[in-house]
Amino acid sequence: MKKILIAEISGKRPGTFKQRPTELFKTCHDHIVISNNSDGYTSTWPIINVPDDYREWYVSNMKNSENAWYAPMNRSYAIKYAREHGYDYLVQLDDNIILLEIASIKKEDGHILRRRITGIHMFDDFVTMLACVLDNTNAAMAGFDLAGISEPTTKFLSERYCYSFFMLNLSCCPDVFHGDFEDDIEYRLKCAQMGRPVVQVVPMRYGKTGQNKTKDLTGCRAEYLKKGVLRGEHMSKLYGDVYSARMRNIGHSVNAKRETENANFKHDLKPWKVGVIVYNMKAMEDCLANILKKYPVKIKSSCIVKEKRKKVKTERKAIANG
């Protein structure tokens, strides 16, 4: 049985679970908050602030931005902390996750059946699924898809990018996150350079606090907005062969409409596949099947009868008066 640590990565988002809804998740695993600045935080999760000596080391060796190095530093220290405390796997979470869902489509008789189950009570089942993937593949990182930016598919596992909800295999993952605003992308490319894939469990997804509708500029979001297209400046230099950035006036959600007032940052990534070695596919399939059985889709009973109406031709009849 692997020892798992749950780490919420947070900074400059003071308040309670109302400001950091990730802390509403209930888990049987050890869980902490890793922060560079927890002033004003009230939480039931133990808070670990990045020590000064590690901050100094990170600034001297890894920092390449004046305003966006805190998150990658927090993520890097979480890896160091987890290893030093004897954990095998580390889950990293953004602090503004508000939704978990299982969403997929299944084709039967030419029809598409959609399955969508939501709720924060599924958290440990999501963690179990990630651990099963790391147990049975050569992946250094496994995670989920962000709901709202893509439609459900028929896929189960795919070699893709993972962002705000993922698990690391501490025995083979890279030591540090780098690359300021785009640290998560840089980390996945670093895994690829080491010959370690990143696997996404496609039907299991998470949702985050929206930015455009809520105008939420807490955490790093104000810096994202201020930086604009320069948010991808360093990644374009480090990985210009696979990464490019631009601005567009369309949001990121699948139903986003063209906007005239706001410009949104968009990064473009070329496909980068390492190849996944699967040790036991059945174990992963059984794990997902057990989760789906635990949360069955409720279908209302209904009976619809359709009748074809016959077209009746009517003839006009002249009626003689008198």
Contact partners, residue 296, CB within 8 Å, separation at least 6: none
The predicted-structure confidence for 122-163, as pLDDT tens digits, reads as follows: 999 999 999 999 999 999 999 999 987 778 888 899 998 888
Of 128, 54, 51, 50, give the one whose Cα is nearest residue 91: 128
The pair of structure tokens assigned to 300 is 């209302």
Query: Domain ranges in the chain?
Result: 4-212+276-294
Helix H segments across the chain?
52-61, 70-84, 123-136, 183-193, 221-227, 233-238, 281-294
So what's the pLDDT on residue 252? Answer: 46
Q: Which residue has the higher pLDDT, 97 or 244?
A: 97
Q: Which residue has the higher pLDDT, 308 or 3?
A: 3
Of 87, 98, 78, 188, give the one whose Cα is nearest residue 131: 87
Of 145, 127, 264, give the one whose Cα is nearest residue 207: 145
The pair of structure tokens assigned to 202 is 């496609």
So what's the pLDDT on residue 265? Answer: 61
The predicted-structure confidence for 215-266, as pLDDT tens digits, reads as follows: 555 545 555 555 544 666 667 666 767 777 766 655 544 444 445 456 676 6
So what's the pLDDT on residue 225? Answer: 53
Contact partners, residue 210, CB within 8 Å, separation at least 6: 216
The percentage of residues in the chain with a pLDDT greater than 90, rounded to a whole number, is 52
CA dist., res. 146 & res. 161, Å (int): 10
User: In CATH terms, is domain 4-212+276-294 a member of 3.90.550?
Assistant: yes
So what's the pLDDT on residue 121? Answer: 86
Q: What is the pTM of this model?
A: 0.81
